[in-house]
Structure 1
Amino acid sequence: MKPSTFRMFYATRSALKPHRDCNVNSVLAALDLETHSSSIQHGVYNGKWGGNGEMFNAVNPSTGQILSKVRMGSISDLKQTISLMNEAKTYWREIPAPKRGEIVRQMREALANKIEPLGKLVSLEMGKILAEGIGEVQEYIDIADYATGLSRMISGAVIPSERPGHFMKEMWNPIGNVGVISAFNFPVAVYGWNSAISLICGNTVVWKPAPTGVLSAIAVTKILQKVLEKNNLPGSICSLVSGGSDIGSEISQNKNINLVSFTGSTKIGREVGLAVQNRFGRSLLELGGNNAIIIDEDADLDLAIRSVLFAAVGTAGQRCTTARRLFVHKKVYDVVVQRLIKAYDQIKVGNPLEEGVLCGPLHTNNSVKNFLEGIEQVKQQGGTILRGGTRVAGLECGNFVEPTITSIAHDAPIVQNEIFAPILHTIKVTSLDQAIEWNNEVGQGLSSSLFTTDIKKIFKWTGPSGSDCGIVNVNIPTNGAEIGGAFGGEKETGGGREAGSDSWKQYMRRQSCTINYSGSLPLAQGIKFE
């Protein structure tokens, strides 16, 4: 989590008042989006703006009001875009990687110049608080910084050859066209993670955003468009085709899309993965989380409570890294739950652009329905609602719910499958071994965190008999991952990795190259063929 987000989240709440400069039209105008009530945004860009698909209403989840109308893309728009990408990739891949990095650096500067209005648009369209909206744009800026440096560091191994007069090396070349299908909850950052790395690797990118995040996608693409035009580069290098499931299906099935990066539910991710594998393409899947935090008996409770609060309530529980399950040692369980309820009672729920608000709305009416159904399932499965569990009174015009704490069995069906809402299941444990076993028993394996001051427990937790997740934290929340480390998870989370470490390798073709400079022909393994 960014420091500014951390400070705002745990600061003393101020009086509720409108945030300055939150007029919708001023935000749209600052991002070069249409502001007239009768105007239509175009949801397709491939060097030119257009779109021949259905009309879509972008809605503010805090008020239910229409922010703008968008003409989405069609299958024919997508196929035309892919054709233009095929042309552009032959040019883009021949540009030296450091030069591609310079283009990404310019994109970084352009994004930084628009960070405040773009962050506000994320808040308006997605519903996260302003600090998180701006923090999300900052993630894109940070990964662009990372990618710029990486463009001068991509390297392959030199491998000793067993044959005299031979040289072996490993080469990494662009994979081709990359399709990015992003989720609603991070309408800017997920694309940024994928596109910045893809671009410096020499690939072209087509973006299919979640329909309910389309305005943010259009705004980002307009920013990138100006950089491409300034450098006389084809716009199809950073293409956008908005639309519904038909667009996502075509991206998954189209043989001209060499890598599909999908962020979303495990259910849809399974379909995407199968479609891509069926044509022997490559997929990068970032799916469900169902993350857990363990508070052991020797934990720093002040640190743990603050961390759980952000992990469970930040973004109204709509992060893939949100804490869904809280395992607490029986010796401190009662104290932890009492302090958590007190902390939850101080949280202001409301318009995410208003100062003092720390929990905005759920993204859609359907999300509210899932939340309420989940509460009923908790009760039916023997659980108890310790705090929350209802819509917020007086805010019925928006998708607002009370951040909720339950007490329930670790193996209840509702605990095994995450609800994308601020519901935290608390579960009493007797030992770290039991907590690890229950942490690992769910189908998902994204993020996990242990709070302890015992060094032996830390190394057990991070070792082969510890957490089975892709992200394994100690004394920090499950969310707020840094871009320097590879982001992703195991099991039903999909196995994909984005952002740092060596994640860039997923966006390239690995080649083992042997060069014979000897003038003779010794074969490997000493084979004689004469």
Structure 2
Amino acid sequence: MTEPTTEQLALRAKTLLTSIGAELPTSGTLPARTPISGGTLAYVTVDTPASAEAAIDRAATAFESWRTVPAPARARLVRALAALLVEYKSELAELVTLEAGKIEAEALGEVQEMIDVCEFAIGLSRQLYGLTMASEREGHRLMETWHPLGVVGVISAFNFPVAVWAWNAAIALVCGDTVVWKPSETTPLTALACHTLMRRAAASVGVDPDVHQLVQGEVGPTLVDDPRIALLSATGSVRMGAIVAPKVAARFGRCLLELGGNNAAIVTPSADLDLAVRGIVFSAAGTAGQRCTSLRRLIVHRSIVDQVVDRLTVAYHQLPVGNPLDAGILVGPLINERAFVAMQEALVHATSDGGEVIVGGERVDSVDHDAYYVRPALVRMPEQTAIVRHETFAPTLYVLAYDTLKDAIALNNAVPQGLSSSIFTLNQREAETFIAESDCGIANVNIGTSGAEIGGAFGGEKETGGGRESGSDSWKTYMRRATNTINYSDQLPLAQGISFG
């Protein structure tokens, strides 16, 4: 495994930011660390509660005029952003690799997802439809209209440092909202790059750049508590959501939560195993198991479980682990030491519960001991124990056996999280039963749990938080609904036939 020095990586990050037009702070206290070497690329200036409040104030002021701009005209800003994302796709993707440790293909895919959601939002700007309903009163028209909501606060996580922001920002902006973004403290440079591109896009179409604000550092509580944040979209841990949700609710604000996922795939006797193995390996090992949709539980029919485990073992032994900047690497580093420790502790728990580590789990030798490369782990479990029901954000896949489809679906549902799920089967009855009975926000057939398209609503149930982002009618979260009654008669009949006076 080749290992560039932190100094080389830092110089590359500076070059990439400069090419995008971002100015790297000359001083700061927030370290922008790279998991590739474990070293620090730069230091970023952090916000204080006062400066974060000032950013919210700028966004609130900008909202008053932005809300009056027609939605198709607001889309001009998103179109300009999409054009810049296309122009700087490779540069932004490389920054994602440097800060989040994603391999090139996944980093490029994440930026493409940003471009795709911008295109979706541009089309959406002409489709913010309401309804016309039949009124029970003669000479009356009953309808609903949708209006901009206000300032949207976005708190994003390290594992998708740019795509999740784009999901929220692109939709919110065409809906007439302004945005205040607090990225993960782990990925401040990619956020700086995106904010720069947004400001460049605004300047190119004559839009007030204050419609988008960036705040860095530990100022999440400021966004949570400020009543000017009409909607808080927060991606992170269940623990974070449990703190955020009641605080926002206490001030009668709105929350969009994307929290934990402990995703399962069922493999039935009729499954195409060639297809299933490919889908399983990508879902479990992709992004080093650090996707909220990563596959963590594999539920296989008892008659084929040994065969599936054998095929996965061969595939896992062949997975190249190493520097994500190198060609041919499929699994990059864990984000930090804490992630590595959590994985090791989970494996200890699993074996103490009677599990057997079939392959993986060990750290790959590294010259720089601040970088954490691990081989994805495949663990055979006798039952779904507490550690299996707990989400560990690392490439660990637990394998369980089942006897009936009812048992398999029960195992799928018997965890606190409810994000993504899938079934591999060529039996239509099994597929349809699974779709009807999986309690997750995403239920797939003959595809893994990860790799959601932007056209569908993304999100999950239970401890996943219930939020929906991206496609379908998720835009309604970013707007407020008004029911309108128009009387075009010269009478004043009351509803329900009431007579008054």
TM-score by length of 1: 0.91
1:40 equivalent in structure 2 = 26
| Candidates 451, 462, 473, aligned match of 2:435 | 462
1:17, 1:355 within 8 Å by CA — same for their partners in 2?
no
Q: Return the letter of the residue paired with 2:407.
A: Q
Name the counterpart of 1:356.
Answer: 328
Task: Determine the structure 1 residue equivalent to 2:104.
Answer: 130
Partner of 2:487: 516
2:78 counterpart of 1:104: yes
Q: Which residue number corresponds to residue 401 of structure 2?
A: 428
Partner residue of 1:341 out of 313, 333, 339: 313
Per-residue CA shift, 1:414-465, capped at 9, x if unaligned? 00111000000001111211110000000000000000000111111111xx
Equivalent residue number for residue 175 of structure 1: 149
Partner of 1:256: 228
Give the whole-Å Cα distance in 2 for the aligned partners of 1:412 and 1:71. Answer: 44
Amino acid at match of 1:361: P
2:241 alignment partner in structure 1: 269
- What are the Cα deviations for residues 74-124 of structure 1, in whole angstroms up to 9, with x where unaligned? 111111111111210011000000001121111111111110010000000
Secondary structure, aligned partner of 1:168? strand
Q: 2:302 pairs with 330, 336, 351, which one?
A: 330
Task: Give the letter aligned to residue 26 of structure 1.
Answer: T
Determine if the alignment matches structure 1 residue 26 to structure 2 residue 12: no
Within the candidate set 109, 122, 126, 1:148 is matched to 122
Find 1:83's aligned residue among 42, 57, 64: 57
List per-residue Cα deviations over 1:15-42 (Å, max 9, x = no partner). 9899xx984443232222446xxx537x
**Could you tell me whether the CA contact under 8 Å between 2:80 and 2:204 is conserved in 1?**
no
Report if the CA contact (8 A) 1:410-1:438 is conserved. no
Q: Matched residues, percent identical?
A: 46
What is the distance in 2 between the residues matched to 1:16 and 1:452? Answer: 41
Q: Give the C-alpha shift of residue 368 in structure 1.
A: 1.1
Aligned to 1:400: 373
Distance (whole Å) between structure 2 residues aligned to residue 344 and residue 307 of structure 1? 13
Q: How far apart in 1 are the matches of 2:123 and 2:288?
A: 34
Deviation of the 1:370 alpha carbon: 0.8
Distance 2:193 2:31 in 1: 16
| In 1, Cα distance between equivalents of 2:247 and 2:325 | 40
2:415 aligned residue: 442
CA contact (8 A) 2:82 2:118 kept: yes
Indicate conservation of the 8 Å contact 1:349/1:359, yes or no: yes
How many angstroms apart in 1 are the aligned matches of 2:17 and 2:321?
A: 25
Q: Which residue of 2 aligns with 1:9?
A: none
Q: CA deviation at 1:200?
A: 0.4
Assess if the C-alpha contact under 8 Å between 1:16 and 1:356 holds in 2.
no
Is contact 2:76-2:205 (8 Å) kept? no
Please report how far the alpha carbon of residue 175 of structure 1 lies from its aligned counterpart in structure 2 after TM superposition.
0.6
The corresponding residue for 1:166 is 140
Instruction: Report how many residues are paired.
Output: 495
Cα distance in 2, alignment partners of residues 17 and 390 from structure 1: 19
Counterpart in 1 of 2:292? 320
Tell me, yes or no, if the aligned pair for 1:311 and 1:323 is still in contact at 8 Å. yes
Residues 394/214 of structure 1: CA separation in 2 closer, same or farther (3 Å cut): closer
Distance in 2 between residues matched to 1:304 and 1:104, nearest whole Å:
38
How far apart in 2 are the matches of 1:69 and 1:33?
A: 14
Distance 2:372 2:119 in 1: 36
Flag as ranges the 4+ runs of structure 1 deviating above 4 A. 15-18
SS state at 2:309 partner: helix
Structure 1 residue 249, shift from structure 2 partner: 1.1
2:68 to 94, 97, 110: 94
- Give yes or no for contact 1:16–1:355 (8 Å, CA) kept in 2: no
Structure 1 unaligned blocks of 5 or more: 1-14, 42-53
> Does the Cα contact within 8 Å between 2:296 and 2:397 map onto a contact in 1?
yes
TM-score (norm 2): 0.96
CA distance in 2, matches of 1:130, 1:78: 33
Name which of 384, 388, 392 aligns with 1:411. 384
C-alpha distance in 1 between matches for 2:476 and 2:307:
46
Q: Which amino acid aligns with 1:505?
A: K
Partners of 2:379 and 2:480 lie apart in 1 by 47
Tell me by how many angstroms 1:184 deviates. Answer: 0.6
**Structure 1 vs Structure 2 CA RMSD:** 1.5
- Distance in structure 1 (CA, Å) of the matches to 2:383 and 2:133: 50
Aligned equivalents of 1:484, 1:517: Cα separation in 2? 40
What per-residue deviation string (whole Å, max 9, x for no partner) do you get for residues 505-524 of structure 1? Answer: 00000110001111210000
Question: Separation in 2 of the partners of 1:331 and 1:177?
Answer: 54
Letter of the 2:408 counterpart: A
Question: In the alignment, which residue of structure 2 is the partner of 1:229?
Answer: 203
Per-residue deviation, 1:388: 1.0
Is 1:451 paired with 2:437? no
Aligned mates of 2:447, 2:190 — CA distance in 1: 30
Q: Is the 8 A contact 1:321 1:478 kept in 2?
A: yes
1:514 is paired with a residue of what secondary structure?
Answer: strand
- Corresponding position: 1:65 with 2:36: no
SS at structure 1 position matched to 2:303: coil
Contact 1:262 1:269 in 2 (8 A): yes
User: Alignment partner of 1:128: what SS?
Assistant: coil
- 1:310 corresponding residue in structure 2: 282
For 1:280, the equivalent position in structure 2 comes to 252
SS in 1 for 2:152: strand
Spell out, residue by residue over 1:239-281, the C-alpha distance to the aligned partner (whole angstroms, 9 max, x if none): 100111xx11111111000000000001111111111001110
**1:17–1:72 CA distance, 2 compared to 1 (3 A):** closer
CA distance in 2, matches of 1:27, 1:147: 27
Whole-angstrom distance in 1 between the partners of 2:374 and 2:281: 16
- Find 2:214's aligned residue among 217, 240, 247: 240
Structure 2 residue aligned with 1:49: none
